[in-house]
Amino acid sequence: MYRIGKNQQKIMLILLGGVALGFSNSPRKYFDTFNKIKKDWKDIDRRTFNNSLKRLSRNKLIEEKRLPNGSFKLVLTKNGKKEAIKRSIIGSAINFKKPKKWDKKWRIVIFDIPEKDRIFRDILRQHLYALDFYKIQQSVFVSPYPFERPILELVELYSAERYVQVITAVAINKEEKLRAHFFEKIS
């Protein structure tokens, strides 16, 4: 895990936000995402901006790409994308304090995302793993913790509602195996 300050985090999220803009298939969602990015950009402390970029570069989380016209662009590295995703829209949910008492409900995320949207599929999987979901099949993940809302927000951000289902269930077959996976770790 990297120690990332507030400004470095904002820079990474802004760079990651560019990916979200590319997935927006409706003008409203595009402008909503753009306005969130714009607001975060305005809030960055300009005095520490260059130091933040240097630190992210030193940690190999971003890199500078020179363009043929002499300008450059900043892009997230593979590790940078992973860190930015952890801190993105459900970043606060990753630090979500798991309830002390289980409500006896399972949260099941099922998705069938086409190959052309592979980037979002990978982002969704990374979020599910970060939230400690358990993979029971290739595109089926389960958790006893109430993370429905953050997952649905992520799906809505990428306009992928038609590909993802979030189910809250009171029973699931092979429940003993799941209980052992989630609750033996706590003991």
Residue 135, sorted as left (phi over 0), alpha (psi -120 to 50) or beta, turns out to be beta
Res. 89: pLDDT tops 70: no
pLDDT at 187: 45
Res. 60: pLDDT tops 80: yes
C-alpha span between 44 and 31 (Å, rounded): 20
Q: Helices in the chain by DSSP H: which ranges? A: 6-23, 27-43, 46-58, 78-86, 91-94, 118-130, 148-157, 175-183
Res. 170: pLDDT tops 60: yes
Q: Give percent of the chain above pLDDT 90.
A: 20
Mean pLDDT calculated for residue range 153-162? 80
Contact 153, 89 (CB under 8 A): yes
Q: Give percent of the chain above pLDDT 70.
A: 68
From 82, 111, 65, 113, select the one nearest 19 (Cα to Cα): 82
Query: pLDDT digit string (tens) for 103-124?
Result: 999 999 999 998 888 878 888 8
Res. 55: pLDDT tops 80: yes
| Domains of the chain: residue spans and CATH | 6-88 (1.10.10), 95-183 (3.30.70.240)
Structure-token pair, residue 74: 């900043």
